[in-house]
Homo-oligomer: A and B are copies of this chain.
Amino acid sequence: MNYNFADRYEGITGSAIRNIFALLADPEIISFAGGNPSPDTFPGEELARISSDILTNDSATILQYGGTYGRNSLLEVLSEFFTEKGKKPGAGEVIALSGSSQGIDLMTKAFIQKGDTVLVESPTFLGALQTFKLFEANIVEVEMDENGMRMDDLEAKIKEYNPKFVYTIPTFQNPTGRTMPAERRREMCQICGKNGVLILEDDPYAQLRYSGDPEPTIKSFDEYDVVVRLFSFSKIISPGIRVGGAYGNKDIIFKFNLGKQGQDVHTANMNQEMAARYVREGLLFPHIADTADYYRGKLAAMYEAAVKYLPEGTKIVKPEGGMFIWAELPEKLNATELFKEGVENKVAYVPGTHFYAGGGHHNTLRLNFTMVSEEKIEKGMKILGEMFKKHL
């Protein structure tokens, strides 16, 4: 039978990255293509104890239906994470999510009708682009520099496109690793607030800082009440438990609640409680410190190898945290075409073009270092560097 699918699925074929993953079954390949945290950082033992304890002592409520906003235990923990400069979220301003990706979906559902404009960083997170496409949004790219989204271009694009909201990953951005400084965050709130444009602040990498000082969140400058901030446990506890949260004006969060009711009713109680208990037992902050220690050397190794081996003229910004290094090769090189040759040489990366709403930028690539040993980072980058140089 030929099914008459809704128009929103036109041109949606699934994540290009997922298709790349399918190619990487060969265990001999050194893969810089991933975006996963290292399983070496997963607190399996503690979570085993906590899950058993929760189900042994509280199964009557844990195994029952829960409220859509989430369990109080997790909402309190999320509220603490969202508290900044002494300002705590008010009643109804926080909701638990099944991963922060769900927040991108619920924000889009709350505001976007067919043809409405969403502004995104150029480049940005693939999953967000797919979500915006499924709501038939008009996706417009805002230029970046080494400090994240450029405010002059943001202002120009707001004037030109009258967008509903701006989607940003301000800290250790995916895919570029770039971080927006405090002053630019403040400026962004001013520009958007004055123009009645909302901001979706997706910040899953912020806690993965290996050096330097944390930046204040965009939400902390939110005098116009235009920012919805997302929080994720995926990179600091586990992505597999699918727990995150959102913080914003209560009218917006109520729409998130209604939208979520019809999707998964609520985030599984045990998963919420596991995250809450892990934090309440004082385990999270030492664990984040250990995780930073684990990744710090890998980032340094990746950056040093990139500087050492990638061709002259390559632009690389060293991030102070996160999971990625971004490289802009000399214009002449096509990282999209060379991906295949890389895999033949047993090294994989993600061609940067996939992260651009409008495609192009074939001289760019994303390099992930979380899953690879320092030794293999050196080895893999050497192979990549030699391959790229050969084609110059």
Interfacial residues, chain A to chain B (CB-CB below 8 A): 1, 3-9, 12-15, 36-37, 39, 42-45, 47-49, 51-56, 59-66, 98-99, 101-102, 104-105, 109-113, 116, 127, 130-131, 134, 164, 196, 198, 224-226, 234, 237-242, 249, 251-252, 255, 257-259, 261-271
Q: Is the CB of A64 within 8 A of B51?
A: no
Q: Closest CB of chain B to A302's CB: distance in Å? A: 21
Chain B residue with Cβ nearest A257: B14
Residues of B within 8 A of A252 (CB): 3
Q: How far is the CA of A39 from the CA of B66 in the complex (A)?
A: 13
Q: How far is the CA of A319 from the CA of B208 in the complex (A)?
A: 56
Q: Is the CB of B1 within 8 A of A105?
A: no
Residues of B within 8 A of A9 (CB): 110, 255, 258
Q: How far is the CA of A53 from the CA of B309 in the complex (A)?
A: 45
If A4-B111, A261-B127 touch, whether A39 touches B65 (CB-CB below 8 Å) is no
If A4-B164, A5-B110, A134-B262 touch, whether A63 touches B47 (CB-CB below 8 Å) is yes
If A6-B112, A264-B101 touch, whether A36 touches B65 (CB-CB below 8 Å) is yes
Residues of B within 8 A of A102 (CB): 263-264
Q: How far is the CA of A98 from the CA of B61 in the complex (A)?
A: 18
Residues of B within 8 A of A1 (CB): 196, 224-226, 249
Q: Closest CB of chain B to A38's CB: distance in Å? A: 9
Residues of B within 8 A of A264 (CB): 98-99, 101-102, 242, 263-264
Residues of B within 8 A of A99 (CB): 264-265
Residues of B within 8 A of A113 (CB): 6-8
Cβ-defined partner of A66 (8 Å) among B8, B47, B240, B257: B240
Residues of B within 8 A of A47 (CB): 55, 59, 63
Q: How far is the CA of A234 from the CA of B268 in the complex (A)?
A: 11
Chain B residue with Cβ nearest A130: B262
Residues of B within 8 A of A45 (CB): 55-56, 59
Q: Is the CB of B101 within 8 A of A98?
A: no
If A251-B3, A264-B101 touch, whether A39 touches B55 (CB-CB below 8 Å) is no
Q: How far is the CA of A270 from the CA of B234 in the complex (A)?
A: 14
Chain B residue with Cβ nearest A53: B48
Q: Is the CB of A49 within 8 A of B51?
A: no
Q: Is the CB of A59 within 8 A of B39?
A: yes
Chain B residue with Cβ nearest A268: B242
Q: How far is the CA of A3 from the CA of B107 in the complex (A)?
A: 12
Residues of B within 8 A of A127 (CB): 261-262, 265
Chain B residue with Cβ nearest A262: B131
Q: How far is the CA of A39 from the CA of B65 in the complex (A)?
A: 10
Q: How far is the CA of A198 from the CA of B188 in the complex (A)?
A: 47
Q: Is the CB of A63 within 8 A of B48?
A: no
**8 A-B pairs with least C-beta separation:** A44-B59, A48-B55, A63-B238, A52-B52, A39-B60, A131-B262, A42-B63, A98-B264
